[in-house]
Amino acid sequence: LLINGDFESPPAGGFTSRNEGIVDGPTTIPGWQSNGTVELVSAGEKQGAMILIIPGGTHAVRLGNEAQIRQDLTVEKGAVYAVTFSAARTCAQLESLNVSVEPTRASSSVDLQTVYTDQGWDSYAWAFEADDKDVKLTLINTGMDEDPTCGPIIDDVAIKKMFLPDRPKDNVVVNGDFEEGPWVFKNESLGVLLPTNLDEETSPLPGWIVESNRAVRYVDSYHFDIPQGKRAIELLSGKEGIISQMVDTTPKKQYTLSFSMGQGGDKCKEPLAIMAFAGDQAQNYHYTPDSNSTARHQGLNFTARADRTRIAFYSVYYNTRIDHISSLCGPVLDDVRVWGTSTSSRIRPFFAFAFWLLLFLFLLV
């Protein structure tokens, strides 16, 4: 967590009720600076007939029109960091949150319009490369609603330094097992959403980009069924939730793309299917859970056409949970590998066929 990243540290005057909780100053919230209508809210509080949702603990912060909270951070210059935070939409329909870091000048708008779970809130991850060792992280509600106190509720803000995993000798995919990714709280049962991010250099999922207008979900083995290891990706929102990577290849050389797919154990409605792309090849793969395994290995052969080849995945269907039709889910992807097919393995079947053909002709004569 950042300093008071869960907003559970009480201000100087203690926590107050919602009617008295409006603050407007740089030091009211311990560890944070604020501008605009910033409100400390507590679990169970109401706005009219609506109960305000607190993602974690008993307190959170709410950002009104053009309001912002900021915190100074000391980081390693040149390193990439992922920021994880939880957010709940309130009274406005088109709420979004702008996340930025200065002097890095990294900035992105995170769309909060789509709520992916029935809990009413989601966790998100966003990444930046530090241009200096002293930076300022800012969260801004850019909306202008008729009610100036309307705006997203923010909670559980954390940061993690990212590392680019070494590429295995027998696999040209970087971070194909998804073990390196943003911070996930152990008590976080919903996973972390990875919104659109087209910059692989500053991705919260090293090596990968999210190139669609909907998010994919980063999940862990504490709360989901994972094909292997501790982390994986759950593909959401059909064609609107795509992850991809450009891998190094040799033109005209044959390769095999393999991956594991399964059901995350979150009661996702069948059918489950993944569309896989490798260069100019594409194929969809269906998965039906059985009692013997929770995952299945799949493979796709392709011939590289260039020095770099795009591999990509998305869910064929728009799936929801059986017990919560408003909660989006999908097949789980893990253990992505791409390796070159050896020349000998392709030639060997030909020679075997030729040998038996000649033997047959000899016996025939």
Tell me the per-residue pLDDT of 87-97, one tens digit each, with 9 for 90 and over: 998 876 678 89
Rounded average pLDDT over 250-274: 95
Residue pair 42/15 in contact by the 8 Å Cβ criterion:
yes
As a whole number, mean pLDDT of residues 199-205 equals 92
Q: What is the pLDDT of residue 91?
A: 79
> What residues form DSSP beta bridges with 125?
84
- Per cent of the chain over pLDDT 70 is 89
CA atoms within 13 A on the CB side of 227: 24
Mean pLDDT, all residues of the chain: 88
pLDDT tens-digit series, residues 248-258: 999 999 999 99
Give the model confidence (pLDDT) of 163-175 as tens digits: 988 888 899 999 9
Residue 210: per-residue pLDDT = 96
| Neighbouring residues of 209: CB distance < 8 A, sequence distance ≥ 6 | 197, 198, 199, 200, 203, 243, 244, 245
pLDDT in tens, 8-49: 999 887 777 554 445 554 447 999 999 998 999 999 888 777
Q: Nearest CA to 254 among 280, 284, 283?
A: 280
Encode pLDDT of 117-156 as tens digits. 888 899 999 999 999 999 999 999 988 777 777 889 999 9
Torsion over CA of 336, 342, 345 and 346, rounded to 10 degrees?
Answer: 100
pTM, whole model, 2 decimals? 0.89
pLDDT at 362: 58
The yes-or-no verdict on residue 206 having pLDDT over 80 is: yes
Confidence at 358, pLDDT banded by 50, 70, 90: low
